[in-house]
Structure 1
Amino acid sequence: MTSFALRMMQNPAFSQIYETLWRPVFTRGFSLGGSATADYDRALRAYLARPGDRQVLDMACGPGNYSADAAHGLTGAGRYTGIDFSAAMLARAGTDNRTDRVSFVRGDAHRLPFPDDSFHTVLCLAALYLIPDPLPVLDEMVRVCAPGGEMIVFTSAQTSVAALPGARTLAELSGLRLFSVDEIVDRFADLRTEHIEQSITGVGQYVHARKPRASQHH
């Protein structure tokens, strides 16, 4: 059964209000009314906008919320590529983000249409909790990430607050998965990534990991 959230993502009208209305409210919800998630989000956007000649992949990019930030500092042959399963979201992304360094592709996060070791930065932000069978998506992130490259995930976290009566039921009804605080970190560890860092903000988590350089695989 398709979740309510996934059905909404396919709706062209919803894709128009997602970035300006729904997503900011939802992001504040991860901080339980505080500003921690919003503060981290601003820091992340500034980090993504730093100068550099790199290839960036934004998985489940939606209407391109981070495309302007990630493309802003790109130099040389640097490019941002957004991939999403929703045609409605991609149509909105293409309309709102028309620059030479930005492109969007429709595809499945479980089977990315890119070769191994293709991107220096691989993002999955505010999306993994909506994707059915989400953990193999992390495998794909690592596969397409270049040796020495980074992966950044923002998703849900089942903290003590998320265990409050009714929280799990609400999450299940909306189609939002609550990950345990170890689930994402452990998967990245199993994939032999390094320098894994996790920041918990309310019922959200940011996880950063790096793919070892080729010489470290041996």
Structure 2
Amino acid sequence: MATLAQRFMTNPVFSAVYEGLWRPAFTRLFSLGGPGTAEFDKALTAYLARSGDRTILDVACGPGLYTRRLAANLTSDGRCVGIDFSGAMLAQAVSKPLARTSYVRGDAHHLPFRDGAFDTVACFAALYLIPDPLPVVDELVRVTRPGGEIAIFTSVTTPVSQLPGVETIGKLAGFHFFGRHEITDRLRAAGVTRMEHTIVDQGQFVLATKDQS
């Protein structure tokens, strides 16, 4: 059975207002306790969007907000590919075409790309809505080339998330609060040893480099 979050994400009406209305309001929830989450998100995205001839994968891209940002400074044959399971979200993404971007409909648990296909793989503000999310982390690692980078922005368990009723409501909606070491432990289990892990307000950011084989 689809979670409440999945139903929303596949709804054309919700998809149409996601980027302009829902996403800004939802992002503010991550900044409870300070403005740091939005600032760190902006800085990390700017780093990932640096100039160069690179291939980037944006997993669970939704309407392509991050996809377009990540593609903005690519050069030569550089390209950013967004992948999402929601046709409604992808319809919004392709309605705002940008050079060096393309979109694929697919399942993050089984990314339809060869091993080591991308220089950079990102999953921002989405992993907490994906059922059984940890195998997705394995897939992020698999499709990253040796020496490439994996970037994740997702939820983290904090005193706020443990307030009475918050975790229960989150589970009912299909929202997952990750433990502080849940993502980094999974990356290590997948063979990634070099990473920066930053917890800011109600969110966590991981920037990892895939080990050379």
Q: TM-score, normalised by structure 2?
A: 0.96
Matches within 5 A, 1:133-152: 133-152=132-151
State how far apart, in whole Å, the 2-side matches of 1:161 and 1:14 are.
Answer: 27
Q: In structure 2, what is the equivalent of residue 155 of structure 1? A: 154
Q: What's the secondary structure of 2:108's corresponding residue?
A: coil
Return 201-210 or 75-84, whichever deviates more: 201-210
Q: In structure 1, what is the equivalent of residue 86 of structure 2? A: 86
Matched, 1:212 2:203: no
State how far apart, in whole Å, the 2-side matches of 1:115 and 1:165 are.
Answer: 44
Matched, 1:73 2:73: yes
Q: In structure 1, what is the equivalent of residue 165 of structure 2? A: 166
State how far apart, in whole Å, the 1-side matches of 2:58 and 2:67 are.
Answer: 8
Query: Contact 1:161–1:202 at 8 Å: present in 2 too?
Result: no
Q: Which amino acid aligns with 1:154?
A: F
State how far apart, in whole Å, the 1-side matches of 2:113 and 2:18 are.
Answer: 27
Q: Deviations over 1:124-164 (max 9, x none)?
A: 11111111111000111111000100001111101222111
Q: In structure 2, what is the equivalent of residue 53 of structure 1? A: 53
What is the alpha-carbon root mean square deviation over aligned residues?
1.1
Query: Contact 1:60–1:82 at 8 Å: present in 2 too?
Result: yes
Q: In structure 2, what is the equivalent of residue 39 of structure 1? A: 39
Q: What's the secondary structure of 1:110's corresponding residue?
A: helix
Q: Which amino acid aligns with 2:56?
A: V
Percentage identity across aligned positions? 55
Q: Give 1:33 deviation, angstroms.
A: 5.6
Q: Give 1:197 deviation, angstroms.
A: 1.3
Q: Give 1:199 deviation, angstroms.
A: 1.1
Q: What's the secondary structure of 1:76's corresponding residue?
A: coil
Matched, 1:190 2:192: no
Q: TM-score, normalised by structure 1?
A: 0.94
Q: Which amino acid aligns with 2:161?
A: A
Query: Contact 2:194–2:211 at 8 Å: present in 1 too?
Result: no
In structure 1, the gaps of 5 or more residues are none
State how far apart, in whole Å, the 2-side matches of 1:20 and 1:45 are.
Answer: 19
State how far apart, in whole Å, the 1-side matches of 2:33 and 2:91 are.
Answer: 31
Q: Which amino acid aligns with 1:130?
A: L
State how far apart, in whole Å, the 2-side matches of 1:77 and 1:119 are.
Answer: 13
Q: Which runs of 4+ in 1 moved over 2 A?
A: none
Q: Give 1:203 deviation, angstroms.
A: 2.0
Q: Which amino acid aligns with 1:175?
A: G
Return 163-172 or 147-156, whichever deviates more: 163-172
Q: Which amino acid aligns with 1:40?
A: F
Query: Contact 2:124–2:153 at 8 Å: present in 1 too?
Result: yes
**Residues paired across the two proteins, number:** 213
